[in-house]
């Protein structure tokens, strides 16, 4: 999908002029409303810290932090409070999530439903507007409630500027790149000791798109963000405000393959790390944290009352003196999930395709937990086998594993798809590769001439020779059905796809979008059915996974040993 439209935001002086006009009205609003947060001595009753610095790293996934060299963030987590299971909002696009982060609300409230959003061109109006014609962000709200605050925003992606009330800012800069952005932040901290500073770094997102997520280059980009965070923290030490400052490190979204914008956990899970004055040390936040809780937490830290229209809640349990809230439901974040080898890579979940060789199931987990696993796709419980040593797999298997702690804590479920294939049995998928400009939906394949045709073992695109944008592929294969009954097919694709059985469309996932799953059900007889998958990439990231599920077949990547080049 197309990930973002970069628009040049002119940094003219006119926002400074509107700013002084706004101040006139803001001062009145302040007189009417803000006195309640100040006690008779003039000191803030609830302010937790003098300075709050939020560093948002575009596209930095929790997985990226876990796999990159990040000594600074590791220390912030060890000496602060954090969760690596905070959740962004849908769609997992930058504009939508940055807006939610700074405005304490979801797209349903702020109306920024895609990267195509512009102030003068959008579908959903914001439910309320603040000091500008957008849903009120922390910047506009802070300016109204506490006009005396020094507020800055420095952003590597100029598109960030259109999402916020720039008229509320004392310092408003668009950095040339991540290093220039960091330097602007360091200089501003040293010169002005801001009360509220937002720093946006863009480079990890670029590397994710260019080189793929879960790749060494992506991990280098996360490591670079870590070192920049270290430099910004050092600037507060040099200026003498470190002990009065709260730092929040988070991200708009993660990524999958070369993209984001879809509906996968890899894209929607984000880190939320908070550290500094009045913040608990070594505290894993066990309750849920959402993208829109960030602004609410900043408001809480600065003693600012959040607008009623915000839906975010301050992450109070991160602050000294505030308990973890009573939980409802089972949080799956108490202990880390086990890791099934081979680890997921850029394009495949854990497991993989094993041709003419058995697979070995190896599970890694923390020392103090018991790992239970299943091989039939059922959810593991304490009655499932305990993993103690590598297990030899001789047939295609859907492996699920879960860690159980001594205090009944449970991890999330780790899944792996092992596909075993013996050569010489006529297995395979044939496909045709096409290129055509201007595609926003699947093309009419009959009107196009394929560039080339070939065969492969699975319905996948990662190992296909292709150009990055405006290509389409049509796969054809015969799927062996051993048990008659209802079968559900799923296609996760970025961009569009359709799946046909015996010429009838079963799954329609067409259009330009991120990695989104769509499904459909069909009754099938025993024997081989003709399976076709059509796929196209408009531009940007690309992804294709095909799964199926039957009455006694767990949902799994359609295994290569059930796909044949001929009908019989």
Largest CA distance in the chain: 87
Cβ proximity to Zn ion: between 165 and 205 the closer is 205
Cβ proximity to Zn ion: between 205 and 532 the closer is 205
Q: Which residue is nearest to Zn ion (CB)?
A: 205
Distance CA 250, CA 199 (A): 11
3-state secondary structure of 294: helix
Where would I find the beta strands (DSSP E) of 96-251?
151-155, 171-174, 196-201, 245-250
CA 147, distance to chain mean position in Å, is: 34
Q: How far is the CB of 41 from Zn ion (least distance, A)?
A: 47
Instruction: Tell which positions 144-163 bind Zn ion, by CB under 5 A.
Output: none
Per-residue exposure over 361-382, b if at least 16 CB sit within 10 Å of its own CB, e if not: bebebeeebebbbbbebeebee
Contact status: 205 vs Zn ion (CB under 5 A) = yes
* Region of 197-205, 294-302, 469-477, 516-524 interacting with Zn ion (CB under 5 A): 197-205
Q: How far is the CB of 331 from Zn ion (least distance, A)?
A: 29
Q: How far is the CB of 541 from Zn ion (least distance, A)?
A: 8
- Is 381 in contact with 403 (CB distance < 8 Å)? no
Cβ proximity to Zn ion: between 205 and 266 the closer is 205
Q: How far is the CB of 221 from Zn ion (least distance, A)?
A: 12
* Region of 47-55, 200-208, 296-304, 496-504 interacting with Zn ion (CB under 5 A): 200-208
Phi/psi at 62 (nearest 5 deg)?
-55, -40
Q: How far is the CB of 114 from Zn ion (least distance, A)?
A: 13
Q: How far is the CB of 100 from Zn ion (least distance, A)?
A: 15
On the CB side of 180, CA atoms within 13 Å amount to: 9
Contact status: 494 vs Zn ion (CB under 5 A) = no
- How many amino acids of this chain bind Zn ion (CB under 5 A)? 2
Consecutive H or E run containing 419: strand 414-421
Per-residue exposure over 308-346, b if at least 16 CB sit within 10 Å of its own CB, e if not: ebbbbbbbbbbbeeeeeeeeeeeeebbbebbbbebebee
* Region of 2-10, 139-147, 347-355, 386-394 interacting with Zn ion (CB under 5 A): 2-10
Consecutive H or E run containing 186: helix 178-192
Residues 6+ positions from 400 with CB-CB distance below 8 Å:
373, 374, 377, 378, 379, 380, 413, 414, 415
Q: How far is the CB of 200 from Zn ion (least distance, A)?
A: 12
Contact status: 132 vs Zn ion (CB under 5 A) = no
Q: How far is the CB of 91 from Zn ion (least distance, A)?
A: 11
* Region of 1-9, 65-73, 144-152, 500-508 interacting with Zn ion (CB under 5 A): 1-9
Consecutive H or E run containing 285: none
* Region of 202-210, 262-270, 446-454, 541-549 interacting with Zn ion (CB under 5 A): 202-210
Cβ proximity to Zn ion: between 267 and 510 the closer is 267
DSSP 342: S
Cβ proximity to Zn ion: between 3 and 563 the closer is 3
C-alpha distances in angstroms, 486 versus 408, 483, 530? 37, 9, 16
Nearest by Cα to 456 from 345, 347, 567, 353: 353
Nearest by Cα to 159 from 56, 11, 55, 6: 6
Cβ proximity to Zn ion: between 3 and 335 the closer is 3
Instruction: Tell which positions 81-120 bind Zn ion, by CB under 5 A.
Output: none
Nearest by Cα to 530 from 497, 496, 566, 555: 566
Cβ proximity to Zn ion: between 259 and 380 the closer is 259
Cβ proximity to Zn ion: between 80 and 91 the closer is 91
Cβ proximity to Zn ion: between 165 and 266 the closer is 266
Contact status: 3 vs Zn ion (CB under 5 A) = yes
* Region of 34-42, 205-213, 309-317, 365-373 interacting with Zn ion (CB under 5 A): 205-213
Distance CA 374, CA 338 (A): 13
Cβ proximity to Zn ion: between 3 and 340 the closer is 3
Nearest by Cα to 506 from 486, 489, 494: 489
Instruction: Tell which positions 239-298 bind Zn ion, by CB under 5 A.
Output: none
| Cis geometry, peptide bond prior to residue 169 (ω within 30 degrees of 0) | no
Cβ proximity to Zn ion: between 205 and 269 the closer is 205
Distance CA 442, CA 498 (A): 8
Cβ proximity to Zn ion: between 3 and 301 the closer is 3
Q: How far is the CB of 209 from Zn ion (least distance, A)?
A: 6
* Region of 11-19, 204-212, 368-376, 421-429 interacting with Zn ion (CB under 5 A): 204-212
* Region of 188-196, 199-207, 323-331, 557-565 interacting with Zn ion (CB under 5 A): 199-207
Contact status: 538 vs Zn ion (CB under 5 A) = no
Q: How far is the CB of 220 from Zn ion (least distance, A)?
A: 17
- Is 489 in contact with 548 (CB distance < 8 Å)? yes
Residues found near Zn ion in the complex (CB under 5 A):
3, 205
């Amino acid at each position: 999908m197309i990930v973002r439209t970069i628009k040049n935001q002119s940094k003219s002086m006119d926002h400074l002029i509107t700013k002084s006009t706004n101040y006139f009205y803001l001062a009145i609003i302040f007189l009417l409303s803000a006195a309640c947060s100040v006690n008779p001595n003039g000191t803030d009753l609830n302010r937790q810290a003098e300075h709050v610095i939020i560093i948002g790293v575009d596209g930095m996934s929790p997985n990226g932090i876990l796999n990159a060299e990040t000594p600074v963030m590791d220390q912030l987590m060890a000496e602060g409070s954090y969760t690596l299971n905070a959740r962004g909002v849908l769609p997992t696009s930058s504009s939508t999530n940055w807006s939610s982060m700074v405005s304490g609300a979801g797209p349903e409230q702020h109306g920024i439903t895609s990267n195509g959003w512009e102030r003068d061109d959008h579908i959903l109006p914001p439910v309320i507007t603040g000091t500008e014609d957008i849903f009120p962000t922390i910047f506009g709200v802070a300016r109204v409630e506490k006009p005396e605050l020094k507020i800055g925003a420095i952003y590597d992606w100029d598109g960030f500027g259109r999402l916020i009330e720039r008229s509320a800012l004392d310092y408003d800069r668009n950095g040339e790149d991540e290093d220039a952005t960091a330097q602007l932040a360091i200089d501003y901290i040293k010169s002005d000791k801001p009360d509220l500073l937002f720093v946006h770094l863009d480079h990890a997102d670029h590397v994710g798109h260019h080189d793929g997520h879960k790749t060494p280059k992506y991990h280098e980009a996360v490591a670079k963000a870590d070192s920049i965070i270290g430099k910004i923290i050092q600037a507060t030490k040099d200026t003498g405000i470190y002990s009065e400052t709260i730092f929040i490190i988070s991200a708009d979204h993660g990524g999958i393959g070369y993209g984001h914008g879809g509906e996968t956990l890899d894209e929607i899970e984000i880190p939320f790390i908070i550290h500094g004055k009045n913040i608990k040390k070594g505290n894993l936040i066990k309750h849920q944290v959402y993208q829109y809780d960030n602004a609410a937490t900043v408001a809480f830290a600065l003693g600012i009352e959040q607008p009623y229209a915000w839906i975010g809640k301050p992450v109070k349990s991160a602050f000294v003196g505030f308990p973890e809230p009573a939980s409802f439901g089972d949080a799956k974040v108490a202990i880390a999930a086990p890791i099934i080898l081979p680890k997921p890579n850029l394009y495949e979940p854990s497991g993989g395709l094993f041709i003419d060789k058995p697979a070995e199931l190896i599970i890694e987990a923390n020392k103090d937990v018991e790992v239970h696993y299943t091989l039939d796709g059922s959810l593991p419980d304490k009655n499932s086998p305990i993993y103690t040593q590598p297990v030899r797999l001789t047939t295609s298997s859907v492996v699920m594993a879960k860690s159980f702690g001594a205090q009944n804590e449970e991890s999330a479920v780790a899944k792996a798809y092992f596909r075993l294939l013996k050569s010489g049995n006529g297995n395979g998928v044939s496909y045709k590769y096409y290129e055509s400009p201007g595609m926003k939906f699947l093309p009419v394949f009959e009107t196009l001439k394929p560039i080339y045709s070939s065969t492969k073992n699975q319905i996948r695109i990662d190992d296909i020779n292709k150009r990055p944008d405006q290509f389409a592929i049509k796969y054809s294969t015969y799927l062996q059905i051993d048990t008659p009954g209802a079968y559900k097919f799923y296609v996760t694709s970025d961009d569009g796809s359709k799946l046909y059985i015996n010429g009838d469309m079963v799954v329609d996932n067409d259009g330009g979008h991120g990695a989104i799953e769509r499904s459909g059900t069909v009754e099938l007889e025993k024997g081989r059915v003709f399976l076709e998958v059509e796929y196209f990439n408009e531009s940007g990231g690309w992804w294709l996974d095909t799964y199926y599920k039957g009455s006694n077949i767990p949902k799994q990547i359609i295994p290569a040993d059930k796909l044949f080049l001929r009908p019989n």
